Amino acid sequence: MIKKIVFQLVFFSFLTFEKVFAAESGGMPQLNPEFWFSQIFWLTLTFGLLYLALSKLILPKISANLESRKSQISDNIEAADKQREESEIKLTEYEKIISNSKNEAKSIYNQAREKALKDINAKKDILDKQIDEEIRKAEDEINLLRKDAPTKINKIAIDTASELTKKLIGAEVNNSNISAIVNDLFKRDGEKYYGN
Amino acid sequence: MAANPMTQFEVYRIGPEIKIGEFDISFTNASLFMVISSIAILIIFNIGSKKNSLLPNKLQLLAELSYTFVSKMIGDTAGSKARPYFAFIFSLFMFVLFCNMLGMIPYTFTVTSHIIVTFMLASFIFIGVTIIGFIKHGFGYLKLFVPSGVPAVLLPLIVIIEIISYLSRPISLSVRLFANMMAGHTMMKVFGGFVISLGIVGGWLPLSFSVALTGLEILVAFLQAYVFAILTCIYLNDALNLHH
């Protein structure tokens, strides 16, 4: 409500203000030459002083400000570029160091691995040799036993046969005859029993 | 209608009558607003150029944007040769702009709505540009009136037209600004009068028009200052770089 009153007051004051001047006007005031010379004079004075003040005092300062800012910004950009280059160089150095140490670690690992393999192989060879020796010894023993076995068995067979014949028929039989028979049988069927 | 829309352009004396010989150079309301505009420009640009911080504050930004704006305008239209006239065109643009803008404040006086003011500015530019042209090119400056590639039969006619168009430059330049300012302010006053005569019931429509017109007039105030400055640049370009 107060706003409205103030609003109306403003516009009514406008009205009264205009009424004061409305009476004395007629046509375009611009074409009334009464104050032309005054306007020319004051325009020349104010615009001239404005031009002098701007061109001598203010515009050079603004231009210097702009220039200094430009140069400062370009300097900063230059410095930033430089730092970036430096950091890139450092980065490549760092990467180089890392790759070098990686390679070193790899070679150390490989060496250790080869050494370990070599050790294992050597030990394995020694063990193999020992095992072979044992096996050979055992085989030799077996072979020896096997070689002896037929003669012993033949002897047992001959003794058994002579004992059996004595008990069965009560007569002495010549051992040499029996051994001839056993040998004969051994020759014929020995293969079957011993599988040599 | 109660109020005469032309009374706002009335010039009246402030203080005593001052005379130099026959001539009356009394301080008037027009003089007052010329002084206010100049002082406003000087204050704003002085504060705007005082501190040189890397990150500008508002006034510094305003000053520097105006500087680069006018500088770019001159560079685009008149080239690098117009560099020495930068200060003049900058002052001209700012003076016209501030006079136009101050005129948009209610109860103020619009300096540029007076034909004598705009005509003085325009004729100063016209005479200055013509002198620069003759200094730079001698009588070769007259080649401006003889466009190349025109058939000989048409040449006299074209030359006359060119001379007339050249001589009418100060008139067109001054009348453009003066008429725009006067028409805008008259129209706003007329709509303001409608608001009063239609009262609280019907006054809202012209009031809304008045509000819209204020926006338009602020645009026109800027645009006319820009046009005034850019036409000066174009005339200067003709004088500096003779293209014909």
The 10s digit of each residue's pLDDT in B185-243 is 999 988 988 888 888 888 889 999 999 999 999 999 999 999 999 999 999 998 998 87
How many Å apart are CA B117 and CA B170, to the nearest integer?
A: 12
Do B206 and B195 contact (CB within 8 A), yes or no?
A: yes
Question: CA of A93 to nearest chain B CA: how many angstroms apart?
Answer: 36
Is residue B100 over pLDDT 60? yes
* pLDDT at residue number A1: 57
Q: Which A-chain residues 64-103 have CB contacts (< 8 A) with chain B?
A: 64-66, 68-69, 72-73
Percent of chain A whose pLDDT exceeds 70:
83
Q: Where are the domains of chain B?
A: 7-240
Task: Residue A30: list chain B partners with CB under 8 A.
Answer: 9, 113-116, 178, 182
Torsion A25-A8-B216-B93 (CA) sign: positive
CA dihedral B175, B180, B185, B188 (to 10 degrees): 150
The 10s digit of each residue's pLDDT in A84-101 is 999 999 999 999 999 999
Q: Which of A14, A55, A56, A69 to mutate to test the interface with B (most CBs of B within 10 A)?
A: A14
The residue among A83 and A2 whose pLDDT is bigger is: A83
Is residue B28 helix, strand or coil? strand
Of A38, A53, A61, the CB nearest to B31: A38
How many Å apart are CA B170 and CA B118, to the nearest integer?
A: 9
Question: CA of A81 to nearest chain B CA: how many angstroms apart?
Answer: 20
Name the average pLDDT for chain B.
90
Backbone angles phi, psi at B19, to 5 degrees: -130, 135
* pLDDT at residue number B244: 52
The two three-digit tokens of residue A3, written as one number:
């706003």
CA B11 to each of CA A184, B18, B29, B108, B190: distance values in angstroms, whole numbers, following the listed order:
168, 15, 6, 12, 20
- Helix and strand numbers (H, E) in chain B are 7, 2
User: How much helix, strand and coil, in percent to the nearest 5, is found in chain B?
Assistant: 75, 0, 20
Confidence at A14, pLDDT banded by 50, 70, 90: very low
Per-residue b/e over B205-238, b at no fewer than 16 CB within 10 Å?
Answer: ebbebbeebeeebeebbeebbbbbbbbbbebbbb
The two three-digit tokens of residue B155, written as one number:
């040449």
* pLDDT at residue number B160: 93
How many Å apart are CA A119 and CA A111, to the nearest integer?
A: 12
Report ipTM for this prediction: 0.90
State the CB neighbour count (10 A cutoff) for residue A173. 14
Do A26 and B16 contact (CB within 8 A), yes or no?
A: no
* pLDDT at residue number B94: 95
The residue among B140 and A173 whose pLDDT is bigger is: B140
State the CB neighbour count (10 A cutoff) for residue B141. 18
* pLDDT at residue number A8: 56
Contact B28 A42 (CB under 8 A): yes
Residue of A nearest to B123 (CA): A40
Q: Which spans in B10-57 are helix H? A: 29-50
* pLDDT at residue number B79: 86
The answer for residues whose C-beta is within 8 angstroms of residue B188's C-beta and 6 or more apart is: B210, B213, B214, B217
How many Å apart are CA B79 and CA B81, to the nearest integer?
A: 6
Question: CA of B34 to nearest chain A CA: how many angstroms apart?
Answer: 6
The answer for residues whose C-beta is within 8 angstroms of residue A86's C-beta and 6 or more apart is: none
Do B122 and B174 contact (CB within 8 A), yes or no?
A: yes
Q: Which residues pair with B13 in a beta bridge?
A: B28
The residue assigned the tokens 């250790």 is A112
Is residue B65 over pLDDT 80? yes
The two three-digit tokens of residue B66, written as one number:
């105006």
Cβ pairs bridging A and B (under 8 Å) = 154
- Counted residue by residue, chain B has a size of 244
CA B17 to each of CA A20, B13, B20, B26: distance values in angstroms, whole numbers, following the listed order:
22, 7, 10, 5
Confidence at A24, pLDDT banded by 50, 70, 90: very low
Confidence at A165, pLDDT banded by 50, 70, 90: confident
The residue among A48 and A25 whose pLDDT is bigger is: A48
A13 has a chain B CB within 8 A of its CB: no
How many Å apart are CA B30 and CA B111, to the nearest integer?
A: 6
* pLDDT at residue number B50: 85
The 10s digit of each residue's pLDDT in B117-165 is 999 999 999 999 999 999 999 888 888 888 888 888 888 899 999 999 9
Contact B6 A29 (CB under 8 A): yes
Is residue A18 over pLDDT 70? no
Of A40, A47, A61, the CB nearest to B116: A40
Residue of B nearest to A12 (CA): B196
The 10s digit of each residue's pLDDT in A115-162 is 999 999 999 999 999 999 999 999 999 988 888 887 888 788 888 888
